[in-house]
Amino acid sequence: MILPGFPPKQSKNLSRACPNPDCPLSGQSGKGNIICHSFYITTQGRRRLYRCKECGRTFCSTYGTPYDRLHKPRSLFDEVVHMCVHGVAISAMAQIKQMAWGTVARWLQLAATYAERFNNRMLKGFLIHELQADEIRTFIGSKKRVIWVLTTLEVWSRLWVSVVVGPRNFRHIKRVILSTLQRGLIQHRFLFTTDGFEMYEWAAKRLLVGVCIFGQVIKKRRENRVAQVDRRLLLGTNAELEETLFHSEDSSTLDTSFIERHNLPIRQGSAYLGRRTPCHARRTEFLVGHMALLTTYYNFVRPHMALKFGKTLRTPALQAGLAKKRFSFREVFTNQPAFFLFVLVVLAARHCRFELQIVSVRLWESGQDSTTLA
């Protein structure tokens, strides 16, 4: 029985889709095929079980999220992920939470997979105004196995656009630049600045001719201090550079200060990247997973102090127009494309209804009948 004033029970499940790949309605939400089936008891309380009327398969409310088959509270999972992106090592987390090292490592790998998926899906279609690229040196296992974390930053929105872990060679430089270009939109020639590594010049002259104004900042150090700074313009003319800098809200000259400052939250946010620490990564997959978690946290969860407008603190994704609010890790992990489609459909339907109401009111005011429109 449906109580007056309450929506039908089925309407709550419109955002859910059948996970069975053999089902004709697999992955399609809003079809009315998902119904509430029953509950099952866990150590954390009871969870809802859903059923697809089309294929008859049942699935639980946490299906398709990292919380599926989790034998601990979801809040503990979120807490472990939060500790990870604040630079706490896995062994320290295992000690604090009285858990096995392997469980924490497995949770973090799982969280990294979902976070990377979310970041790849959401981080698209922002405007590239000014780009800076840099690398962080670290090692895997022993100090002889040097590895680099290559990053690009969109300066205006402070978006951490792309990250690649691997040797510092042309292939990886090309990969990080192409990944950045695939995600962003180019409406005008943007300013691209890097350090003096020669591979950037090769990549820029092969991939970015006519797309950007490219310059390098070469710092010469003496006794661990910067003694001389050389700025080289390699793509574009001086007049074009001056015009771009005139329109830039952040830079007044060719510099890499924003990406160098950005290296600080990266180093602080990963236990693997601390200096003089025994917590270095033992395997490349672990470092890649940390970077995926940290990228999502930096772009969508953590408010950026440089993006403070009055009392409002924005995340880089908010500033770039990729999100309408600051996300939490719970929302990142439970976020599914089907739910977004459902929200868009509801918003579009409301908008259409509102437009029709306005038309009806205008026609009524002008003394016409609304049926004459058709």
Q: Give contact residues for Zn ion (rule: CB under 5 A).
A: 18, 20, 23, 52, 54-55
Give the residue with the Cβ less far from Zn ion, 33 or 132.
33
CA distance 89 to 105: 10
* Cross-strand bridge partners of residue 159: 154
Per-residue HEC secondary structure of 159-196 comes to EEEEEEEECCCHHHHHHHHHHHHHHEECCCCEEEEECC
Q: Please give the biggest Cα pair distance in the chain.
A: 85
> 308-309 and 225-235: which strand pairing?
unpaired
Give the residue with the Cβ less far from Zn ion, 26 or 284.
26
SS3 149: strand
Smallest gap from Cβ 346 to Zn ion, in A, equals 23
Q: If you write DSSP's letter for every residue of 59-70 in order, what string do you get?
A: EETTTTSTTTT-
Smallest gap from Cβ 84 to Zn ion, in A, equals 36
Smallest gap from Cβ 79 to Zn ion, in A, equals 34
CA distance 224 to 87: 26
Give the residue with the Cβ less far from Zn ion, 35 or 352.
35
How many angstroms from the chain centroid is the CA of residue 320? 12
Give the residue with the Cβ less far from Zn ion, 23 or 99.
23
SS3 40: strand
Give the residue with the Cβ less far from Zn ion, 18 or 317.
18
Give the residue with the Cβ less far from Zn ion, 50 or 107.
50
Evaluated on CA atoms 276, 221, 251, 232, the torsion sign reads negative
* Burial group, residue 97, by CB count within 10 angstroms (0-12, 13-18, 19+): middle
Give the residue with the Cβ less far from Zn ion, 23 or 94.
23
Smallest gap from Cβ 55 to Zn ion, in A, equals 3
Give the residue with the Cβ less far from Zn ion, 279 or 338.
338
The beta strand positions in 249-372, using DSSP E, are: 308-309, 312-313
Alpha helices in 184-328 (DSSP H): 198-207, 238-247, 257-269, 284-296, 316-320
Smallest gap from Cβ 338 to Zn ion, in A, equals 13
Smallest gap from Cβ 26 to Zn ion, in A, equals 6
Smallest gap from Cβ 59 to Zn ion, in A, equals 9
Smallest gap from Cβ 21 to Zn ion, in A, equals 9
Q: Which two tokens stand for residue 298?
A: 């930096």
